[in-house]
Amino acid sequence: MKAILAAVFAVMLGLVFSTVTFAEATPGAPAAPTAPAAPPAGGEMQKEEGKKQEMKAEKHEKKEKRHRKAEKEKKQSRSGNGQG
């Protein structure tokens, strides 16, 4: 009886793990390429990095502007609360 239960348990575990690993790929499908994709040409890469840096700079400027505005509003609200 123990041997039968152990065999059933082993079969169930085998089915569970086989569906997890093999169900994702369709049969006969080629394996995913292991080599990384070719990097873009040097000029394109520099342009992309330049755009990223510009966007970061703009974002930083906007953040500073919002911070300055919030500081200004805090100062105004503090001075307004003292007088009354």
In this predicted structure, what is the pLDDT of residue 76?
A: 85
Specify the residue for token string 């049969």: 27
Which amino acid would we find at residue 18?
S
Integer Cα distance of 21 and 23 in angstroms: 6
Specify the residue for token string 């039968």: 4
In this predicted structure, what is the pLDDT of residue 9?
A: 94
Residue 42 lies in a domain: no
In this predicted structure, what is the pLDDT of residue 84?
A: 43
Single pTM value for the model: 0.36
Per-residue pLDDT averaged across 1-6, rounded?
94
Residue 25 lies in a domain: no
Residue 40 lies in a domain: no
C-alpha to C-alpha distances, 50 to 2, 43, 78, nearest whole angstrom: 68, 11, 42
Residue 40, φ and ψ in degrees, nearest 5: -65, 165
- Domain span at residue 61 reads 50-78
Per-residue pLDDT tens digits for 6-61: 999 999 888 777 665 555 656 565 556 566 666 555 667 777 887 888 888 899 89
Counted residue by residue, the chain has a size of 84
Look at the chain and report how many structural domains it folds into.
1
